[in-house]
Amino acid sequence: MKVNSRLLRPITLLFLLASVILAPQFARGEWQAHQIRQGDGKGGWVTRAAENLSKHEETLSLDGVTELSDAAAESLGKHDGYLKLDGLASLSDLAAESLSKHKGDIRLSGLTGLSDAAAEGLSKHTGWLWLNGLTSLSDVAAESLSKHEGSLSLDLDELPDSAAEILRQHPSFQEDDDDE
């Protein structure tokens, strides 16, 4: 097969131009987004990583995690240190129960709602609990969180009035009497 050199030259120039334009981002080592899915496709790959991460003794900032399996939550519940999971939009009841065993502060500011059982589970956590993204919370869930022994961080103005009123009883929202 004979190749027409007149066609080959423009094609070669096109590929050369494309490589000059596209190559720098790869040469600079810029992050390229990609996902790895193994197992059930519901965060099963996170489970194995979570087992190793739970041994890390300092801050774990895992905002890129958008789904957390119950098994991964169980592993992360063994972590000792600050745990940041702001990418989570939901949390199962079992995952909340597992995370309650975490030794350290937990930030879950991506959550917009909690079931009554999840709130009950998280209320058993003894560290600081950030739930600043909550916009929906039942009175039963608010009652559970009001019994949390650690510090609470919530935006009470974003919650239903009745839930906010219940949570105002928590020491985190009481005015400091020493200032008077």
CATH code, domain with 85: 3.80.10.10
**Alpha helices of 91-132 — where are they, by DSSP H?**
93-99, 116-123
Domain that holds residue 77: 44-179
Q: Is the pLDDT of residue 34 over 50?
A: no
Question: Based on the structure, what is the number of domains in the chain?
Answer: 1
- Phi-psi domain of 73 (left: phi exceeds 0; alpha: psi -120 through 50; beta: other): alpha
Instruction: Decide if 118 is inside a domain.
Output: yes
Q: Is residue 34 part of a domain?
A: no
The answer to whether residue 24 is domain-embedded is: no
Residue 36 belongs to some domain of the structure: no
Q: Indicate whether 3 belongs to any domain.
A: no
Indicate yes or no: pTM above 0.75. no
**Is 10 part of a structural domain of the chain?**
no
In 3D space, the residue among 84, 81, 95 whose CA is nearest the CA of residue 153 turns out to be 84
> pLDDT tens digits for 42-100?
554 444 555 566 666 678 788 888 888 888 888 888 888 899 999 899 999 999 999 99
- Is the pLDDT score of 172 beyond 90? yes
DSSP, res 66: -
**Residue 180 pLDDT greater than 80, yes or no:** no
Position 30 in a domain: no
What pLDDT score was predicted for residue 123?
96
Residue 74: inside a domain: yes
Q: 152 CB contacts (<8 Å, ≥6 apart)?
A: 128, 129, 131, 145, 167, 170, 172, 173
